[in-house]
Amino acid sequence: MTKRTESTDVVADAADTERPSRRRWLREHSELGVSALLLVLGVLVLTDAITMDVDLTQRGPVGPRTVPIVVGAGLLVIAALLAVDVLRGGRGEAEAGEDVDLSEPADWRTVLLLAGVFLGAAVLIEPLGFPVAGALLFWGAAFALGSRRFDRDPLIAAVLSVVAYAVFNNLLGVPLPGGPLMGVL
Amino acid sequence: MDALNSLLDGFGTALTPVNLLWAALGVLLGTAIGVLPGIGPAMAVALLLPVTYGLQPTGAFIMFAGIYYGAMFGGSTTSILLNTPGESAAVVAAMEGNPMAKAGRGAQALAAAAIGHFAGGMIGTTLLVALAPTVADLAVDIGAPDYFAIMVLAFIAVTSVLGSSRIRGLASLLIGLTLGLVGLDQMTGQQRLTFGSLHLADGIDVVIVAVGLFAIGEALWVAAHLRRTSGEAIPVGRPWLDGGDVKRTWKPWLRGPFIGFPFGAIPAGGAEIPTFLSYVTEKRLSKHRDEFGKGAIEGVAGPEAAASASAAGTLVSMLTLGLPTTAVAAVMLAAFQQYGIQPGPLLFEREPELVWGLIASLFVGMVLLLALNLPLAPLWAKLLRIPRPYLYAGILFFAAVGAYAVGGEAIDLVILLIIGLIGFGMRRYGLPVLPAVIGVILGPNAEQQLRRALQISDGSVTGLVNTPFSVTVYVIVALLLAWPLLRKPVAAAVRKRGQTPS
**Cα gap B32→B34, rounded to integer Å:** 5
Beta-carbon contacts of B227 under 8 Å, excluding residues fewer than 6 positions away, are A99, A100, A101
Encode A22-72 in three state secondary structure.
Answer: HHHHHHHCCCHHHHHHHHHHHHHHHHHHHHCCCCCCCCCCCCCCHHHHHHH
**CB spacing of B164 vs A93 below 8 angstroms:** yes
> pLDDT tens digits for B354-373?
889 889 988 998 999 888 88
Tell whether B425 is within 8 A of chain A (Cβ). yes
pTM of the model: 0.85
Residue of A nearest to B191 (CA): A52
| Same-domain status, A113 and A82 | no
**Cα gap A79→B282, rounded to integer Å:** 44
Residue A96 lies in a domain: no
Best residue in B80, B190, B213 for a mutation probing chain A (most A CBs within 10 Å): B190
| Residue B163, SS3 per DSSP | coil
What distance in Å separates residue B409's CA from the closest CA in chain A? 9
> pLDDT tens digits for A73-117?
999 999 999 999 988 887 877 877 777 777 778 888 899 999 999
Best residue in B199, B404, B448, B460 for a mutation probing chain A (most A CBs within 10 Å): B404
Cα Rg of chain B (Å, integer): 23
**CB spacing of B447 vs A91 below 8 angstroms:** no
Q: Burial-class residue B20 by CB neighbours within 10 Å (0-12, 13-18, 19+).
A: middle
> pLDDT tens digits for B58-105?
888 888 888 888 888 888 887 788 776 656 667 788 888 888 888 888
Among A57, A87, A117, the domain-final residue is A87
Number of domains composing chain A? 2
**Residue span of the structural domain in which A39 resides:** 2-87
pLDDT of residue A184: 61
If one compares B217 and B376, the residue with the highest pLDDT of the two is: B217
**CB spacing of B192 vs A111 below 8 angstroms:** no
Best residue in B155, B168, B419 for a mutation probing chain A (most A CBs within 10 Å): B168
Nearest CB among A78, A160, A168 relative to B174 is that of: A78
Beta-carbon contacts of A77 under 8 Å, excluding residues fewer than 6 positions away, are none
pLDDT of residue A55: 62
Q: Which residues of B touch A122 (CB under 8 A)?
A: 400, 410-411, 413-414, 417
At position B424, the amino acid (one-letter code) is: F
Q: Which one, of B271, B222, B257, B205, lies nearest residue B42 by Cα? A: B271
**CB spacing of B193 vs A48 below 8 angstroms:** yes
| Same-domain status, A64 and A21 | yes
**Cα gap B33→B13, rounded to integer Å:** 26
**CB spacing of A61 vs B188 below 8 angstroms:** no
Q: Which residues of A touch B187 (CB under 8 A)?
A: 59-60, 64
User: H-helix or E-strand containing B183?
Assistant: strand B183-184
> pLDDT tens digits for B185-233?
887 878 888 887 888 888 888 889 988 998 899 899 988 888 766 666 6
**Cα gap A67→A53, rounded to integer Å:** 15
Q: Which residues pair with B226 in a beta bridge?
A: A100
| pLDDT bracket for residue B256 (50, 70, 90) | confident
| Same-domain status, A26 and A74 | yes
User: H-helix or E-strand containing B74?
Assistant: helix B57-82
**Cα gap A66→A71, rounded to integer Å:** 9
**CB spacing of A168 vs B405 below 8 angstroms:** yes
Nearest CB among B171, B189, B191 relative to A38 is that of: B171
Residue A103 lies in a domain: no
| Same-domain status, A27 and A60 | yes
If one compares B228 and B431, the residue with the highest pLDDT of the two is: B431
If one compares A97 and B23, the residue with the highest pLDDT of the two is: B23
**Cα gap B399→B231, rounded to integer Å:** 27
Q: Burial-class residue B132 by CB neighbours within 10 Å (0-12, 13-18, 19+).
A: buried
**Cα gap B122→B311, rounded to integer Å:** 11
pLDDT of residue B244: 79
| Same-domain status, A80 and A120 | no
Best residue in A78, A108, A149, A169 for a mutation probing chain B (most B CBs within 10 Å): A78
Interface of B with A in 12-41 (CB under 8 A): 37-38
Residue of B nearest to A29 (CA): B429
**Cα gap B168→B55, rounded to integer Å:** 37
Q: Which residues pair with A100 in a beta bridge?
A: B226
**CB spacing of B401 vs A48 below 8 angstroms:** no
| Same-domain status, A37 and A83 | yes
pLDDT of residue B83: 74
**Cα gap B42→B72, rounded to integer Å:** 12
Among A58, A87, A116, the domain-final residue is A87
Q: Which one, of B452, B446, B474, lies nearest residue B173 by Cα? A: B446
**CB spacing of B222 vs A41 below 8 angstroms:** no
Identify whether the C-beta of residue B118 lies closer than 8 Å to the C-beta of residue B299: no
| Residue B191, SS3 per DSSP | strand
Rounded to 5 degrees, φ, ψ at B191 are -75, 135
Share of chain B above pLDDT 70, in %: 93
Res. B492: pLDDT tops 80: no
Tell whether B428 is within 8 A of chain A (Cβ). yes
Q: Which residues of A touch B191 (CB under 8 A)?
A: 52
| pLDDT bracket for residue B239 (50, 70, 90) | confident
pLDDT of residue A2: 40
pLDDT of residue A4: 44
B352 alpha carbon, distance to own chain's centre? 23
Tell whether B498 is within 8 A of chain A (Cβ). no
Q: What share of chain B is helix, strand, coil (3-state, %, to 5)?
A: 75, 0, 20
pLDDT of residue B286: 82
Q: Which residues pair with B191 in a beta bridge?
A: B184
At position A86, the amino acid (one-letter code) is: V
Average pLDDT over residues B313-326: 86
Tens of pLDDT, residue by residue, chain A (185 residues): 344 444 444 444 555 556 678 888 877 788 888 999 999 999 999 998 888 776 655 556 777 888 999 999 999 999 999 999 988 887 877 877 777 777 778 888 899 999 999 999 999 988 888 889 999 999 999 999 888 888 888 999 999 999 988 888 888 777 888 877 766 65
**Cα gap B50→B21, rounded to integer Å:** 18
Average pLDDT over residues B460-487: 84
Average pLDDT over residues B6-17: 87
A157 alpha carbon, distance to own chain's centre? 25
pLDDT of residue A64: 83
Chain A / chain B CB contacts < 8 angstroms: 238
One DSSP character per residue, A99-166 reads TB-TTSPP-HHHHHHHHHHHHHHHHHHHHH-HHHHHHHHHHHHHHHTT---TTTHHHHHHHHHHHHHI
Helices A108-128, A130-144: axis angle to 10 degrees equals 170
**Cα gap B211→B197, rounded to integer Å:** 22
**CB spacing of A111 vs B424 below 8 angstroms:** yes
Identify whether the C-beta of residue B200 lies closer than 8 Å to the C-beta of residue B403: no
Per-chain mean pLDDT for chain B: 84
**Cα gap B70→B307, rounded to integer Å:** 12
Residues, chain A? 185
Lowest mean pLDDT among B75-89, B393-407, B419-433: B75-89
Lowest mean pLDDT among A57-61, A143-147, B300-304, B346-350: A57-61
Cα Rg of chain A (Å, integer): 27
| Same-domain status, A17 and A75 | yes
| Same-domain status, A74 and A23 | yes
Average pLDDT over residues B254-270: 81
Q: Is the dihedral of CA B219, B221, B225, B230 positive or negative?
A: negative
Res. B391: pLDDT tops 80: yes
**Cα gap B403→B418, rounded to integer Å:** 12
Nearest CB among A64, A93, A156 relative to B192 is that of: A64
| pLDDT bracket for residue B496 (50, 70, 90) | low
Lowest mean pLDDT among B81-85, B174-178, B351-355, B414-418: B81-85
**Cα gap B22→B59, rounded to integer Å:** 6
**CB spacing of A38 vs B174 below 8 angstroms:** yes
If one compares B36 and B394, the residue with the highest pLDDT of the two is: B394
Among A87, A117, A148, the domain-final residue is A87
